[in-house]
Structure formats: structure tokens, C-alpha cells
């Protein structure tokens, strides 16, 4: 690899971090609209075309499994002529290892893969790119996700989203499953990325190349899918119901759908409910 200083980085050089959902329960279920091998062949063509768009472009792939996450491809390592197909071997090793880690079969439904883990790893790598000097490719993250959201990952995923927002790294989402992902809708909305749920997955390659292939600089000239109705309603900690009005513990900010005597998260005891509005404060005319 040539040293960074000798490279000419323009604003159209990209670092694409791709997070691929490898959840075997999802890909073997009826929720998967196409087979994993068909999906992979379209993704591989897409990644190869990214590398051909600009010889300085960099692609890294992280596999998001059911029990673990791992890096499976980095275009900056190995021979320069190496094509993305070389990730297949590492992917196979990863899937086998991920399956061995599966201890209990008690996962109900198709389960959720560890998106919070692969997002955190991707962000760590991107920070290294930022630290490498003032000349670096423009990083972005693309989540290709099919499994449903795991409620237990909520805090970790939100933490990752805010960290990405602070470092101005957009998180693009391409949802393959049958349902929308509330996590990824928020991720793309907050970080200024693109959220897309393709209608006809036979043409996945077309969607990928038209929406996600452009570098960040050129995006401003395109008409990309606009977010339609991001659901910012919260879900209560007691029943996991989605609510539009509720009570917040003033100590730990836990959300409840009705009034409790004691907070189940932090143990504080409460008095009477109260609104933040201070009625004794005069309301000023503008």
C-alpha cells in the first residue's frame, strides 16, 4: 500500500463501511425475499463497482451475526488487485463460528443480529481513519439489514448513532426484511444518511448503485429518497408499548406509561405527578 501522504485525496474519495446481516435464522425464514447467495452476488458486484469508481476508494465489510461480529474484508489490506470476492472465504469461516457460538435454540422468531456491535466496530475504525491525518477518504456506513430490531440493543445503538452524528459520519440503511426498522430509520435521520427499503429485491444491485454508490460530495446534487415519517415516539419501559404521552422519572429518565409509586430502574420513590411547566412563572408575550 502506498503511504497516505503520496495519495491525492479529493472530496470524492470514499471509505465505505458495509455491515452485512448474516443472521441464518433471517435468511432461512420466509421474511427473506431472496436467497443469501443471490443477495451476496449483487452486493459483491456493487462493492467491486465502488472500488472501480475511484482507485483510492476503500471498502471494509463487517459481518453482523447472531452471536458475534467480525471484520471480513478490507480493501486496503492485501494485494491491490484483490477483488471483493476474496471475502467469501472469511465470511464462510465467520458463519460457521457464529453458529458454533449459538448455545440455546430458544430464540423466538428470527431473532435480531448484533447491529450495535458491528456499528461500534465500524465507528472505531472510522476514528482511526480520522486520526490518520488531514488527508483521508470520506467515511460513511451502509447497513444492509434484514433481522428485526432487538429491544435490548436500544441504548447501545442510540449511543452509536450520537457518536456518528458528532463525527459527521452518515449511516445509510438498506432494509431487506419485510418490516421497517425503527432503529435504522432513526440512525439515518439523525446522521443525515439515506434510508431505503427496496420494493423489488431482484433488482437490489440497481437500488444500490443508484442510491448508495455516490460519494458524499456529489450527493447534494442528487434527488435521493427523503425520509417519510420517522417515528420518534418512545416505548415505555414497563410494557414496551409505544406511547405518545407518558411519565418520565426525573432521576434516571426512564419512561412509564402510567403513574408508579417507585421507579423500577433507579428505585426513587415519587410524589404526585407534575408537569415541567411552572405555572407560577409568568408566560411572556413575544
Where does this chain bind Zn ion (CB under 5 A)? 249, 251-252, 254, 263, 265-266
Q: Taking a C-beta distance cutoff of 8 angstroms, is the pair 205, 45 a contact?
A: yes
Q: Rounded to an integer, what distance in angstroms lies between the CA atom of residue 233 and that of residue 235?
A: 7
Give the nearest distance from C-beta 253 to Zn ion in angstroms.
7
Contact of residue 66 among another protein, Zn ion, none (CB under 5-8 Å per partner type): another protein
Contact of residue 2 among another protein, Zn ion, none (CB under 5-8 Å per partner type): none
Give the nearest distance from C-beta 100 to another protein in angstroms.
13
Of 33 and 150, the one with the shorter C-beta distance to another protein is 150
Contact of residue 270 among another protein, Zn ion, none (CB under 5-8 Å per partner type): another protein
Contact of residue 256 among another protein, Zn ion, none (CB under 5-8 Å per partner type): another protein
Of 117 and 146, the one with the shorter C-beta distance to Zn ion is 117
Give the nearest distance from C-beta 125 to another protein in angstroms.
5
Of 13 and 66, the one with the shorter C-beta distance to another protein is 66
Give the nearest distance from C-beta 177 to another protein in angstroms.
19
Torsion on CA atoms 133, 158, 118, 35, rounded to nearest 10: -130
Contact of residue 171 among Zn ion, another protein, none (CB under 5-8 Å per partner type): none
In eight-state DSSP terms, residue 67 is S
Paired with 138 in beta bridges are 14
Amino acid at each position: 500500500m502506498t503511504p497516505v501522504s503520496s495519495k491525492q485525496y479529493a472530496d470524492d474519495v470514499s471509505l465505505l463501511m458495509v455491515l452485512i446481516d448474516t443472521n441464518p435464522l433471517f435468511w432461512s425464514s420466509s421474511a427473506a425475499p431472496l436467497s443469501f447467495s443471490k443477495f451476496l452476488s449483487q452486493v459483491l458486484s456493487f462493492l467491486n463497482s465502488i472500488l472501480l469508481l475511484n482507485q483510492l476508494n476503500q471498502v471494509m465489510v463487517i459481518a453482523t451475526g447472531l452471536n458475534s461480529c467480525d471484520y471480513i474484508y478490507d480493501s486496503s489490506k492485501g494485494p491491490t488487485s484483490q477483488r471483493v470476492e476474496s471475502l467469501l472465504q472469511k465470511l464462510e469461516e465467520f458463519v460457521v463460528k457464529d453458529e458454533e457460538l449459538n448455545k440455546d435454540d430458544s430464540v423466538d422468531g428470527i431473532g435480531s443480529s448484533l447491529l450495535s456491535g458491528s456499528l461500534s466496530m465500524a465507528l472505531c475504525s472510522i476514528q482511526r481513519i480520522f486520526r490518520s491525518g488531514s488527508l483521508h477518504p470520506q467515511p460513511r456506513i451502509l447497513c444492509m439489514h434484514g433481522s428485526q430490531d432487538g429491544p435490548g440493543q436500544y441504548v447501545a445503538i442510540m449511543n452509536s448513532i450520537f457518536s456518528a452524528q458528532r463525527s459527521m459520519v452518515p449511516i445509510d440503511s438498506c432494509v431487506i426484511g419485510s418490516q421497517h426498522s425503527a432503529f435504522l430509520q432513526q440512525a439515518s435521520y439523525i446522521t443525515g444518511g439515506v434510508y431505503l427499503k427496496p420494493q423489488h429485491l431482484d433488482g437490489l444491485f440497481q437500488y444500490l448503485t443508484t442510491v448508495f454508490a455516490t460519494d458524499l460530495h456529489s450527493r447534494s446534487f442528487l434527488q435521493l429518497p427523503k425520509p417519510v415519517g420517522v417515528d420518534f415516539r418512545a416505548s415505555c419501559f414497563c410494557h414496551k408499548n409505544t406511547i405518545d404521552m407518558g411519565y418520565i422519572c426525573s432521576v434516571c429518565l426512564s419512561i412509564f406509561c402510567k403513574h408508579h409509586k417507585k421507579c423500577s430502574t433507579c428505585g426513587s420513590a415519587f410524589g404526585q405527578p407534575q408537569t415541567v411547566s411552572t405555572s407560577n412563572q409568568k408566560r411572556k408575550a413575544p
